[in-house]
Structure 1
Amino acid sequence: MHSDMDRIGDLAEAGEKMIERLRRKAFLPESRKGLNVRFGIAEAAQLLGCSTNRIRMAEDDGRLPPPPASENGRRAGYTVEQLLRMRGVLGASPARADADEPAIIAVQNFKGGVGKSTVTTHLAHYLAVQGYRVLVVDCDSQATTTTLFGFNPHFNVTREETLYPYLSIDPTQSDLGYAVKRTPWPNVDLIPSNLELFDVEYELAAAGADGGSVLAARFRKLRAGLADLARDYDMVILDPPPALGTISLAVMQAANSLLVPLAATTPDFCSTVQFLSMMDQVLRQLGEAGIAVGYDFVRLICSKFDGNDPSHAMVRQIMEQTFGSALLPVSILESAEISHAAMRMMTVYELERPIGTTRTHKRCRANMDEALGQVEQLIRRGWGRVAPASEEAVVNEAA
């Protein structure tokens, strides 16, 4: 006869099998996630900051391949991979210069349910659409970000494929290259996670009298490993655990920028204030221990905001009064399209067509572009640049 304790394991096993069934259903026929989203010529021109005529001319003179055509003879739209090739040909790549420091952004809040993994994955895909090279590092043993990228952390990811072999007490890897996986996005890579990554926390907690020095060594090691990997990317996005543990502390020290998502509710506001207070104390203690921490920017972003809810508007106003310019002006709106995409283990940037109404999808996508574009501008400002001006903007300014 099973006890309630035994049932916990049974429930976990049943849940893991259901996740795999959902993954297989979502990613048929190969049970593997793909990227089928396409961009029409007008949207491609907007993303490249040029005119549609310039794209057509490049196709006519052979600098770009002929336009993709569907069965009915109409343009089928460009893939992300084709957009990247077009950026190279047309000189429209936003990539950082060699002298620019890669942005290493920790998306962190100790309060669960604020949309941390949703912000992480959408930010990665937004930046990918803009043409940047992105590395996402899932540092959270709950592995939600890994799941959203199409990997089942229980069936598809082993402990040896996570940060564990690099951060453990007895490491078997001297750099992080072993852990980098390709994703369906040609310019986004992932270091995945799974539940076994939590073993790092146990090991360091059991380090005994030498725990402090071991911990400091792990902090420096993660920072060095990520800095080494970052040379091949424009941005690195870190998704740490929603708790003040060893890995979270290491991520704080490895990042050079901090993005704090919080929902527009009083409990989330109060929890985030406590998080910031705790962060302040921890960073001071790290500094006193000789572990340097510095951020190019620290910003809060309001997530899951419902503009039709008066309580959300009130809490948003409280946020503005409290955090001032540290709160990004554009919130991420609550949208059924985000929820529908998540059910398919996707972001709104991966949807081939709207799941809800076209209007809802367009509104959600436009809001995501505007909200996450704020982060892009902070990064580019750190490089001493603003967003590249489109040909249309240059012409209008000249007029």
Structure 2
Amino acid sequence: MNSVLMQIGDLAEAGEKMIERLRRKAFLPDSRKALNVRFGIAEAAHLLGCSTNRIRMAEDDGRLPPAPIENGRRLGYTMENLLTMRDVLDASPRRAPLDQAQIIAVQNFKGGVGKSTVTTHLAHYFAIQGYRVLVVDCDSQATTTTLFGFNPHFNITREETLYPYLSIDPTQTDLLYAVKKTPWPNVDLIPSNLELFDVEYELAAAGADGQAVLAARFRKLKQGLIDLSRHYDIVILDPPPALGTISLAVMQAANALLVPMAATTPDFCSTVQFLSMMDQVINQLVEAGIAVNYSFVRLICSKFDGNDPSHAMVRSIMEQTFGPALLPVPILDSAEISHAALRMMTVYELEKPIGTPKTHKRCKANLDEAMGQVEQLVRTGWGRVSPVREEELIHGA
């Protein structure tokens, strides 16, 4: 065997083993990720849009189970508790039966813009707000799959990805086979691994029939996601950061587009190229009879450092260029996000701050505000505004 190939293979194997070691260290004792975050009664009341008294009254009259207590003090509510409270107190934000599930593609052809970080934080934000979420990892690099606690090399087979559904010789007729439960009770995942890239090879090798096969795959992925979305409010797609078959299929299957971009000149230029390429591709798809329709297209500035003058300058250029299509609140570049990622987590999964409590609080508040912008777009598409909180009604009266 070629010595260079052997060297690359050895490096890949060493890296895969290290990822597994990190995963096991992060998820001890049983090497499976768990969700241990808890919510105090004040935070739970805020999320439900009610008063703490209403929660206590529901616990006192038996509509809700007693609050979890240890050594005489409340432990805080789990996500399962929170979902139960939403059902009992009629505080669920779920879409109405006639509302279309929002299928959001988080896409940019430029790597390093935080695409998978945005995907996972957006999924967990929506989960905490009470929505039913499906995340579909369409990228063979499988970063999103890893952040959900699965090792793509050791835990996921090709048959558990989109491959059996999208391959030239499919063995699955719908996507239910690929849906996996995650530590979040209201977030499911369709995982990915490196072998998903075989779809690209197969379609490239389809020869003269390639265009017809490609069009069929585009329509098939869209229909499969529409069928599956009946069980969810939000579907978030994480496509590869390149213009390939799977990326194009994802772009056509989505009904909304969120484009993360870092506040640097190369990222700005790359994003402009991405938008130009998307415009050309969408026109070609439409000409081929393949419909593409988005309820919203927005850009979000990621990894923004407010103390860096160059970031402020590039963000100003973004605002002048994209106007209202650029979401006003950027995602701040925070050590808390990086530290959480090292543990294969999002900030929403941390039981306690990794850095200082002030840094954690500032980071989480920024994420809530940034992700909340996307929630508003979804709710607007459903013809709804933000739910009015109980204390706001009282104050307004």
Structure 2 residue aligned with 1:235:
234
* Aligned position for 1:88: 87
1:376 match = 375
Q: Which residue of 2 aligns with 1:335?
A: 334
Which residue number in structure 1 is paired with residue 119 of structure 2?
A: 120
Counterpart in the other structure of 1:289: 288
- The amino acid across from 2:348 in the alignment is Y
Q: Any idea what the Cα deviations from partners look like across 1:200-241, whole Å, max 9, x if unmatched?
A: 000000000000000000000000000000000000000000
Q: Are 2:152 and 1:131 equivalent residues in the alignment?
A: no
**CA distance, structure 1, for counterparts of residue 333 and residue 74 of structure 2:** 33
| Letter paired with 2:332 | L
Aligned to 1:74: 73
CA distance in 1 between counterparts of 2:53 and 2:189 reads 36
Q: Structure 2 unaligned segments of length 5 or more: list them.
A: none
Could you list the per-position Cα deviations for residues 46-72 of structure 1 after superposition, in whole angstroms to 9, with x for gaps in the alignment? 0000000000000000000011112x2
For residue 396 of structure 1, report the CA deviation from its aligned partner.
Answer: 1.9
Match of 1:179 in 2: 178
Q: Aligned pair 1:5/2:5, yes or no?
A: yes
Output aligned runs, 1:114-263, within 5 Å. 114-263=113-262
Indicate the residue corresponding to 2:35 in structure 1: 35
1:297 deviates by: 0.1
- The normalised TM-score by structure 2 is 0.99
Tell me the secondary structure at the aligned position of residue 231 of structure 1. helix
Q: Which residue of 1 is the match for residue 58 of structure 2?
A: 58
Helix, strand or coil for the counterpart of 2:336?
helix
SS of aligned partner of 1:305: coil
Q: C-alpha displacement at 1:2, in angstroms?
A: 7.7
- Give per-residue Cα distances to partners, 1:83-104, cap 9 Å, x unaligned: 0000000000000000100000
Q: Which runs of 4+ in 1 moved over 6 A?
A: none
Aligned counterpart, 1:385: 384
Distance 1:283 1:63 in 2: 51
Cα offsets for 1:295-349 (capped at 9, x unmatched): 0000000000000000000000000000000000000000000000000000000
Q: C-alpha deviations, 1:177-207, integer Å up to 9, x for none?
A: 0000000000000000000000000000000
Which structure 1 segments of 5+ residues have no match?
none
**Counterpart of 1:304?**
303
Report deviation, 1:5. 2.6
Structure 2 CA distance for aligned equivalents of residues 108 and 3 of structure 1: 37
Q: Work out the CA distance in 2 between the residues paired with 1:387 and 1:198.
A: 40
1:387 Cα deviation from its structure 2 partner: 1.2
CA deviation profile, 1:350-389 (whole Å, cap 9, x unmatched): 0000000000000000000000000000000000001111
Count of residue correspondences? 397
Q: Separation in 1 of the partners of 2:72 and 2:9?
A: 55
Return the alpha-carbon distance in structure 1 between the equivalents of residues 394 and 223 of structure 2.
Answer: 45
Residue identity opposite 2:300 in structure 1 = I
Q: How much has 1:393 moved relative to structure 2?
A: 1.1
> What are the superposed Cα offsets for residues 239-271 of structure 1, whole Å, 9 maximum, x if unpaired?
000000000000000000000000000000000
Identity %, equivalent residues: 84
Q: 2 CA distance for matches of 1:261 and 1:282?
A: 19
Match of 2:7, SS state, is helix
Once residues 209 and 134 of structure 1 are traced to their aligned partners in structure 2, the CA distance between those partners, rounded to angstroms, is 39
- Separation in 2 of the partners of 1:317 and 1:20? 42
SS in structure 1 of the partner of residue 152 of structure 2: coil
Q: State the one-letter code of the partner of 1:336.
A: A
Matched residue SS, 2:74: coil
SS of residue paired to 2:73? coil
